[in-house]
């Protein structure tokens, strides 16, 4: 299952990092990326960071999630916005 | 944004003027589409087909049989992602092995399996390597680390597979009518959006790499429909925040260091040359296939009688057209792998179509 939630690096020692996702922290490996720093956002799969997100990417994700909340509160069914 | 995306795709459907079938290759896309109720928002003549992108579902029962047999040997600990535990082989499952006393450890990462090997030097810890390009680099790292650090009791039984050969096989067969592919988001993180060029160019079928949020998927569907409308076929990338054209080069290098392409059998698609990832000879000491003389990933196996998992994985039929669905095959008593996995199409239909039925 692919989890597409950005995880923020809060600690980095060698290739081992601790990331924070909505207040939950876990240890991951960063061997599949280069040039990471504390504060960077990454996508984690099977315990490994597989991609880094820029600030802009995180902002795009947040905008999408806000839109989704609107969807959860009830979206117009098909036909009404034609 | 949602309204705009829906409006765009409805306009495209009107302009196209015929039914359109799009395939979401990735199992996470299948689940996301159901969970968000996307299918109910789409025009009726726009069909979303699920493809062969659920790792557990495409793993043939022969592999499960071998894993079950291995799990019952003394001194063996099987480490696996949770989905595999309940998948029925032709005679038994890892869940049943466990009831018979086998050690079956459910892990979230090959890191946990490697750690289990470190902590249990008296046991052979065998990780079941199931998954696509997204998961395989992590498993490659675990094998390389076991070799570098001298952890001889860590082994991997690889059934890893790569996505482009499966998409190629689907198109070659001409059996499933696909007007466009929603390409898997996190496989593409690793292999890059360029990897689908052969589909757009060779088969003239549009491809759009899609993110996992419902809005991502709607936008990607809209992009596919626009290509269909204009008679174009190219690779577009909706999921730019994660996917680069060239992919993740560091992960690709890790993959190539440990694995090489090999033949692999897929449930539903049969044996596809070069579609598997085989552990290279230099890491043979960590290859469970060699250590325990297990069958290779190219071994074909029959489906359970009546099970149409294979047809579902090719987009030839939906679970509703399978005679076992909901009657003899349920999440509590699954017959086929597509009903077991959290990413399986039959499991998704069961969970969400049933709810929809009850609401009507």
pLDDT tops 80 at residue B298: no
Q: B37 — alpha (psi -120 to 50), left (phi > 0) or beta?
A: left
**pLDDT value, residue B359:** 45
Average pLDDT over residues B187-212: 97
Q: What is the CATH number of domain B1-303?
A: 3.40.50.11740
**pLDDT value, residue B98:** 97
The whole-angstrom separation of Cα B359 and Cα A19 is 40
pLDDT band for position B223 (50/70/90)?
very high
Average pLDDT over residues B210-218: 93
User: CATH 3.40.50.11740 in chain B, residues?
Assistant: 1-303
pLDDT tops 70 at residue A82: no
Q: What is the pTM of this model?
A: 0.93
**pLDDT value, residue B299:** 76
Greater confidence, B1 or B114?
Answer: B114
**pLDDT value, residue B72:** 97
Which residues in chain B have Cβ-Cβ distances shorter than 8 Å to A15? none
Which residues in chain B have Cβ-Cβ distances shorter than 8 Å to A63? 1
Greater confidence, B206 or B299?
Answer: B206
pLDDT tops 90 at residue B237: yes
Average pLDDT over residues B317-331: 94
Q: Kindly determine whether residue A2 and residue B190, on different chains, have CB atoms separated by under 8 Å.
A: no
Q: Kindly determine whether residue A75 and residue B7, on different chains, have CB atoms separated by under 8 Å.
A: no
Residue B179 tokens, joined:
């007007």
Average pLDDT over residues A71-79: 55
pLDDT tops 50 at residue B140: yes
pLDDT tens profile A33-70: 999 999 999 999 999 999 999 999 999 999 988 887 87
Q: Is A15 on the interface with B (CB under 8 A)?
A: no
Which residues in chain A have Cβ-Cβ distances shorter than 8 Å to B214? 68, 71
Q: Count Cα atoms within 13 angstroms, Cβ side, for B4.
A: 7
pLDDT tens profile B338-353: 998 888 999 999 998 8
pLDDT tops 80 at residue B300: no
Q: What residue spans of B52-128 are helical by DSSP H?
A: 55-58, 61-71, 94-99, 110-119
Strand partners, A28: A17
Closest C-alpha to B154, from B134, B136, B128 = B128
pLDDT tens profile B280-289: 999 999 999 9
pLDDT tens profile B47-60: 999 999 999 999 99
**pLDDT value, residue B177:** 84
**pLDDT value, residue B175:** 83
What b/e string do you get for B267-301 counting C-beta neighbours within 10 Å, with b at 16 or more? bbbebbeebbbbbeeebeebbbbeebebbbbbbeb
**pLDDT value, residue B245:** 98
Q: How far is A37 from chain B (nearest CA, A)?
A: 17
Q: How far is A41 from chain B (nearest CA, A)?
A: 11
């Amino acid at each position: 299952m692919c989890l597409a939630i950005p995880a923020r690096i809060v600690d980095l020692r060698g290739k081992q990092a601790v990331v924070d996702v909505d207040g939950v922290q876990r240890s991951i490996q960063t061997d599949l990326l280069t040039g990471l720093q504390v504060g960077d956002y990454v996508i984690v799969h099977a315990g490994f960071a597989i991609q880094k997100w820029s600030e802009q990417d995180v902002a795009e994700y947040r905008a999408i999630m806000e839109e989704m909340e609107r969807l959860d509160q009830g979206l117009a069914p098909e036909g009404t916005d034609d | 944004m949602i309204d705009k995306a829906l409006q765009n795709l409805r306009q495209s459907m009107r302009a196209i003027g015929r039914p359109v079938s799009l395939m979401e290759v990735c199992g996470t896309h299948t689940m996301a589409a159901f969970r968000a109720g996307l299918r109910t928002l789409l025009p009726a003549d726009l069909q979303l087909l699920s493809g062969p992108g659920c790792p557990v579902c495409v793993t043939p029962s022969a592999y499960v049989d071998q894993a079950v047999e291995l799990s019952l040997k003394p001194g063996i600990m099987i480490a696996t992602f949770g989905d595999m535990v309940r998948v029925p082989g032709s005679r038994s499952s890892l869940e049943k092995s466990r009831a018979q006393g086998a050690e079956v450890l459910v892990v979230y990462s090959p890191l946990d399996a490697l750690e289990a090997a470190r902590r249990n030097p008296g046991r052979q810890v065998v990780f079941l390597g199931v998954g696509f390009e997204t998961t395989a680099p992590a498993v490659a790292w675990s094998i390389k680390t076991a070799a570098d650090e001298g952890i001889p009791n860590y082994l991997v039984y690889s059934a890893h597979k790569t996505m482009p050969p499966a998409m190629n096989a689907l198109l070659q067969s001409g059996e499933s009518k696909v007007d466009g592919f929603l390409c898997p988001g996190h496989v593409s993180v690793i292999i890059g959006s360029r990897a689908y060029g052969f589909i757009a160019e060779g088969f003239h079928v549009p491809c759009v790499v899609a993110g996992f949020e419902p809005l991502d998927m709607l936008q990607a569907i809209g992009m596919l429909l626009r290509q269909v409308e204009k008679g174009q076929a190219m690779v577009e990338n909706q999921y730019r925040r994660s996917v680069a054209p060239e992919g993740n080069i560091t992960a690709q290098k890790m993959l190539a260091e440990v694995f090489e392409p090999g033949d692999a059998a897929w449930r539903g698609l049969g044996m596809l040359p070069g579609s598997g990832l085989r552990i290279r000879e230099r890491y043979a000491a960590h290859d469970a296939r060699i250590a325990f003389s297990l069958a290779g990933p190219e071994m074909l196996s029959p489906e359970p009688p009546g099970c149409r998992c294979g047809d579902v994985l090719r987009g030839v039929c939906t679970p509703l057209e399978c005679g076992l669905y909901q009657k003899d095959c349920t999440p509590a008593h699954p017959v086929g792998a597509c009903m077991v996995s959290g990413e399986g199409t039959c499991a998704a239909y069961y969970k969400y179509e049933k709810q929809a039925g009850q609401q009507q």
